[in-house]
Chains A and B, each alone.
Chain A
Amino acid sequence: MKAIDEFAGRFGGRLSLDEKLIIEKQGRYFLLSENLEKLLTDTFFYAGVYLGKVKRNVFFPSFNLLRMIAEGEANKVTVDERTEWLFICGRDIFKQGIVKVTGSRNKGAHVLIMNKHGECLGFGKLLRSTDKEAGNQKVMIKNISDIGDFLRRER
């Protein structure tokens, strides 16, 4: 599916999903298993792996999709424990919190944010190249989406 492929491409990643098993309902995309496909009727509310939704021509990924992209080669930034907490509270990332960068280091690149256990916390956008000198107090990555959203949705 084009929107999903394009989204994965922003991280320099690729996904090989079986298009026959991707189903769309009211702008929301789900990946089914063959077992689920046999049982599904069109009145479903949620099914299989939620991949994300398209709203006003913009694709909003699910955290499942981010995890799937993170399993392969992609732009990733690993952060320290304190930064992990701040990030899931919706904050941007300062240079001093970055432990490791994999993939693109260029300004404007989209990056998956990982904790020290290799778990995906969300994603953001590099505001400046990580190769260039920058003070520790400079915001390096703009938070676009983080798993703290699960709590914010319930408010």
Chain B
Amino acid sequence: MMSGQEFFINRYRKLGWKYTSAKPMQAIRVNTANAKKEDVEQRLESRGIRLEKIRFLDNGYWIHESKISAGATSEYLLGLYSIQEAAAQIPVALFSDLRDKTVLDACAAPGGKTVQLADLMNNTGAIVALDIDRQRLTALSNHLERCGVMNTIVYKMDARHVSRLQIKFDRVLLDVPCSGNFATDNNWFHVRTFRDVERNAALQKEILAEAARVVKDNGEIVYSTCSLEPEEDELNIDWAIKNMNLRTESLNISCGEAGLTNVFRKKLDSSVENCRRIWPGQTQGFFVCKLVRRSDA
């Protein structure tokens, strides 16, 4: 049967990783448009929340110890920081030069990365944020209001239809719907099957294809998932660079490993190694890749 803990762990072993259980640490990201990092550090420490800077992130902190919920402080409610898993803070930080740009956040809810984009853009330019679920859009809107985001338009729209807006984007964030991973879901091995992985991979390809249509020449797409399954990660990137006039760009991050270029004996384009694969540990499992649209179409 193509499901169950043994099936997936065996796959990970074949990909070169020995399974260990993981419990990702809680992390926050300071919204630097609203507060100075050292002020937030000091204010939270005075409330009994002990922080440690995350070495691979500019604005991220691990929560080492907390006497109160980090999601119920005045500082949180005032939008001075967001609670955001550490690996999930990586994708937005990979874009170059976000100020004054037109940016698409294609699968935006609940909005952690949208707020991070607005923060790095210092509320300049424009973000178009999409999601299909009304309840999740409400959560996204509350997140934008809490953090004082000013440069975002939210649409209830399927990312596969974004060309209907007739906008060309400088930057596109594709934090696509995915199968997730066991580190953030205790029941993951019991509920996920390989069919889910295949279905998600197909949906992700459709979203990637649409993103390639709406991004400007030399524009950047950052693709990320919290799935460990190569069908949703390296294999999709291999497909995109062969079919969508995109190329990968190497990433300057000191976290994770190079993308796999040999997946279950299938040899992929060598540039797929520019992706980063993060196996669960301090963070959840994660995959991220930066693509650039070739201008020689």
Contacts and interface: CB of A to CB of B under 8 A. Distances in A.
Interface of A: 33, 35-36, 39-41, 43-50, 62-64, 67, 84-85, 88, 115, 119, 121, 147-148, 150-151, 153-154
Nearest to B143: A150
Interface of B: 71-72, 74, 77-78, 102, 124-126, 128, 137, 139-142, 144-146, 148, 150-157, 165, 167
B130 to A, nearest CB: 9
B155 A44 contact: yes
Of A33, A46, A121, A153, most B-chain CB atoms within 10 Å: A46
B141 A45 contact: yes
A103 B4 CA distance: 66
Contacts of B153: 36, 39-40, 44, 46-48
Nearest to B69: A151
B126 A39 contact: yes
> Chain B binding site: helix, strand, loop or mixed by DSSP?
mixed
Given A50-B141, A50-B144, A63-B145, A35 B151 contact: yes
A39 B127 CA distance: 10
Nearest to A40: B153
A39 B78 contact: no
Contacts of B155: 41, 43-45
Nearest to A32: B153
A88 B156 CA distance: 31
Contact of B142 (A45, A121, A153): A153
A38 to B, nearest CB: 8
B156 A36 contact: no
A150 B144 CA distance: 11
Given A88-B77, A154-B139, A45 B154 contact: yes
Given A46-B140, A50-B145, A63-B145, A36 B126 contact: yes
A33 B102 CA distance: 13
Given A45-B156, A85-B74, A150 B142 contact: yes
Contacts of B71: 151
A12 to B, nearest CB: 23
A150 B140 CA distance: 12
Given A43-B156, A67-B148, A148-B77, 5 more contacts: A33-B126, A39-B153, A50-B141, A121-B74, A121-B78
A126 B102 CA distance: 45
B35 to A, nearest CB: 9
B237 to A, nearest CB: 29
Given A35-B126, A39-B167, A44 B145 contact: no
Contacts of A35: 124-126, 151
Nearest to B131: A45
Contacts of B141: 45-46, 50
B153 to A, nearest CB: 5
Contacts of A44: 153-155
A19 B133 CA distance: 31
Contacts of B72: 151
A17 to B, nearest CB: 13
A107 B214 CA distance: 57
A62 B148 CA distance: 10
Given A39-B128, A63-B145, A150-B142, A46 B74 contact: no
Contacts of A33: 126, 150-151
